[in-house]
Amino acid sequence: MGFKMGIVGLPNVGKSTLFNALTRTAAAQAANFPFCTIEPNVGEVAVPDARLDTLADIAKSKQIIPTRMTFVDIAGLVKGASKGEGLGNQFLANIREVDAIAHVLRCFDDGDVTHVEGRVDPVADAETIETELMLADIESIEKRLQTIVRKVRGGDKEAVQQERLMKAALAALEQGKPARVVEVDDEDAKAWTMLQLLTTKPVLYVCNVGEAEAAEGNEHSAKVAEMAAAEGNAHVIISAQIEEEISQLEPEEAAMFLEEMGLAEAGLDRLIRAGYDLLHLETYFTVGPKEARAWTIRTGTSAPKAAGVIHGDFEKGFIRAETIAYDDFVSLGGEQAAKEAGKMRAEGKSYVVKDGDVLHFLFNT
């Protein structure tokens, strides 16, 4: 399982440039005018994980298959998007389909790049986008509350539950707060997700800074960091221009370029890690002579559910999971040595998979 992250922001903040860099393509046209992205561009990228290469080297795997992440480049929102301004309705519908939102915020000064509001203020930009998403949610909820009135009066349990959740969301939204601040019980979690409210999506602020500020950020990104902390959201500092340049280089050249810029790693790596943390994701591995492969699961996933990520039959017929911790696999030099050292464990249906576990599933067909 991977996840889908929507890249949103006002026009000309660097969304398409970042998307091009992330997907190592020029699929999204990066042009200096609003709405150059008319249709959402979708790209998949491999999730970099040095552990996978290490495991493959030890097991002498013929093929390395990383887990993947999907990015959706959604065209620029503007004030009034919730009412259809710009190309608002289309873009808001695209946002409903993603698991998380990356707000790309312009944190660079460049007179040659037009800002739709004629100024550089990333906090105000974030508020503009959040406001449009909240207004769209309010309108959606008000319409849906009207359509379920009869069912609620008739005592339909599902409708009663939906009404209660929508009213809780509406109360927060009318106070100027996103729906994600509403605390939802486990029994309501599925129904809450089915509401598909835009402001329930986890948010990651992406501060797009100039090349010279990629390592430490600047006063603009510092304000975003303060805002994110106050909201309980995450943020990362990236220079989309640097990422695009790196994407055109060979790995060795890219490493040298990063070192020259004073960067320990590519912004993509930071962005993916932040995305993983945002959605509470982790990785487990399957390793053998044929292939070494990474799989993404949510934190707290049981062994049968983790097996189901590979194939539904693995979950249905789950017997047990032969498990080796990553550190043991590496320090002992592989599966056989780990087994001989007593570091391979047989785990049952109640086992919660840990990040980095090397697993082999046994199941009934």
Q: What is the DSSP letter of 357?
A: -
What is d(CA 51, CA 221) in angstroms, rounded to the nearest whole number? Answer: 31
Domain at 300-363, CATH homologous superfamily: Beta-grasp domain (3.10.20.30)
Structure-block tokens of residue 303: 């062994």
Answer whether 4-278 and 300-363 agree in fold: no
Q: Are 182 and 172 in contact (CB under 8 A)?
A: yes
Task: Give the residue extent of every domain in the chain.
Answer: 4-278, 300-363
Q: What was the pLDDT predicted at 78?
A: 56
- Strand pairing partners for 242? none
Please tell me the pTM assigned to this model: 0.81
Bigger pLDDT: 119 or 106? 106
Instruction: Mention every residue, 6+ apart, whose C-beta is less than 8 A from residue 152.
Output: 159, 160, 163
Binding residues: 12-17
With cut-offs at 50, 70 and 90, classify the pLDDT of residue 35: very low
Mean pLDDT of the chain: 86
Q: Residue for token digits 């055109």?
A: 248
Instruction: Mention every residue, 6+ apart, whose C-beta is less than 8 A from residue 229.
Output: none
**Quick check: 29 pLDDT over 80?**
no
* C-beta neighbour count of 354 within 10 angstroms: 13
> Diameter of the chain by CA atoms?
68
Task: Assign 211 to helix, strand or coil.
Answer: helix
Binding residues for ATP: 12-17
What is d(CA 105, CA 86) in angstroms, rounded to the nearest whole number? Answer: 19
Q: Helix %, strand %, coil % for the chain, to 5?
A: 45, 20, 35
What share of the chain in percent tops pLDDT 70?
A: 88
CATH architecture of 4-278: 3-Layer(aba) Sandwich (3.40)
**Quick check: 146 pLDDT over 70?**
yes
Q: Name the nearest CA neighbour of 71 among 31, 105, 99.
A: 99
pLDDT digits (tens, 9 = 90+) for 239-266: 998 988 888 888 889 889 888 888 888 8
What is d(CA 243, CA 16) in angstroms, rounded to the nearest whole number? Answer: 12
Q: What is the DSSP letter of 269?
A: H
**Quick check: 113 pLDDT over 80?**
no
Residue 53 φ then ψ, to 5°? -65, -40
pLDDT digits (tens, 9 = 90+) for 174-183: 999 999 999 9
pLDDT digits (tens, 9 = 90+) for 250-308: 888 988 988 888 888 888 888 888 888 888 899 999 999 999 999 999 999 999 999 99
